[in-house]
Structures are given as C-alpha cells and as structure tokens.
Amino acid sequence: MNEVMEKRQENKVRMVQPACAICEDNGQILVRVEMPGVDKDGIEVSVEKNELVIKGKPAAAPVEGTYLIRERQTGEYHKRFIIDETIDREKIQAVMNDGVLQLTLNIKEAAKPRKIEIK
Amino acid sequence: MNLMLRNRPTELDPVEELDRLQRELSRWFDFGFDNMGLLDRALAPTVDLVETNEGYILTVDLPGVDKKDINLTVENNVITIEGEKKETRESKDKKRFFRKETWEGSFRRTISLPAAADPEKVHAELKNGILTVTIGKKEELKPRQIAVQVK
C-alpha cells in the first residue's frame, strides 16, 4: 500500500483512456480517437515495436473552483494498440480536428487478399 | 488483422481509480432533479460545472461536433445544450467496425443553474471539441466583504 501511495505522488497526472472507433474501409484501417481538449500540438503518435502509442495532452488546464457537477474525466489521454506486420508503419497518417484524432493505417500490399486467376 | 487494445496495469493508478469509483457512486446517491433530468444520461455529453468567484463555468465534452450543430438556450435559469453529432463517412457502414466506443446522433442536456447565475451574462466558446460556457453571477448575490467598524 505504501508503494502505491508513493507512486501516486510521483505521477500526479491521471491517465484517461479515450473513446475510440476502429473500422476497415477500402483496405485501410481508420482509427478515430476522441480526445476533447487536445489540439494538434498536444498529440503524440508513435510506433514502438508492435505497438501503436497515442498520447494526448489537453491544451488548457482544468478549471479551478468548486465543482458542482463533475462527470468529465480529466487528465492526459493514453491509448495503446497492438498492430501486426500487415500494417505499413511508414504510411500512417494522422489528422486532428475538433478534438478527434483520425489515424489512417494502410495494410501492406503483400497482406491484402489476392485474387488468383485460373488460366 | 490484429488490432488489439492493451491496457498497461502500471498506467492505472489503483488509488485514483477508487477515488473515481467513489465519486461515481456518490453521484448515484446524490442523484436528484436539480442537476440532471431523469432520462438525460443516455445520450448526453458529460459536463463539469464549476463555481468560481466571478461566476460559473460549464464545460461540455463535444468532440467532433461542429459549431453550427450546437444549440444553446437559457430559460428560467435552466441551460439547455442540444445538437447533433454527425455520423462520419465510415460509421455509416456498421458491419466493418472492429471496435466502437464512440457515439453519434442527437444529444440533449439540461442543467439547472444556481440562483446566483445571471442568464444575461452567458458566453460560449467551442474549442478542440470542448464547449465552454461562462455564466456570470448576479451582482447583488456576489459575496461581498463588508467592513465592520468597531467603535
């Protein structure tokens, strides 16, 4: 328990799992991550080995005062996905708009279903 | 296609999680009609209402919602936020989803403001998917310091 308390002092920032939607569209994987409060500069997308790491830092600090209603989860956004070899790591596109991050992952040509013609 | 979500246990702070659970639970027990409508929760965005010295700040999470799709009205000290979160191109084809935690469609949320809130002084701003509504306080209800003279 002491350890837990100490750890809590170390990283005060709360990690929030943002809501996301993943779908396939024309051989591309579209990942939408909702991170309200995060602007283009606060976002960090990286690929570590077989993981896609998404980090987002809200642009504004939480409001100081007496909370009458508190439902929103505040803190830094953090999400990790495991991606396999079929994803082309060189071709990951990211667009940030209105607090929504849209990632486009391309499937490698070699991994796409191929139709073999019968002669 | 292996696109899996992985939660790292080290990134979760158990104490903080318990705090949050307690907050959630106490919210259920405090569940009243002054803060929210009975059926509001299902398709309503999450909000924060903070009281400061100058007034109240209402923060609403509306990621991916356009400014023109939001309607904000104040009536009898009740603030109503309604609008529509438009479906994205890819969300129309529901079969292709691997994972879906997001929602779209119309939303509505009503919040009763405290008596000290001044419905004339409301200012709203949408930035990075967060709607911030600043509501001023009525002058006569602001806390004031009264000097007491000792004779």
**Residue B18 host element (H or E):** helix B14-29
The string of pLDDT tens digits covering residues B31-67 is 444 344 444 444 778 899 999 988 899 999 999 888 8
* ipTM of the prediction: 0.76
Residue B132 has pLDDT above 70, yes or no: yes
**DSSP run (H or E) holding A40:** none
CA distance A118 to chain B (A): 27
Of all residues in chain B, what percent carry a pLDDT higher than 90?
18
Residue B75 contacts residue B99 (beta carbons within 8 Å): no
Helix (H, G, I), strand (E, B) or coil at B149: coil
Chain A interface disruption, residue of B34, B130, B133, B134, most A CBs within 10 A: B130
- Report the candidate in A27, A25, A47, A39 with the shortest Cα–Cα distance to residue A95: A39
Tokens of B63: 């990621």
Least confident of B20-34, B85-99, B119-133: B20-34
Q: What residues 68-97 of chain A have any CB closer than 8 A to a CB of chain B?
A: 68-73, 78-84, 86, 97
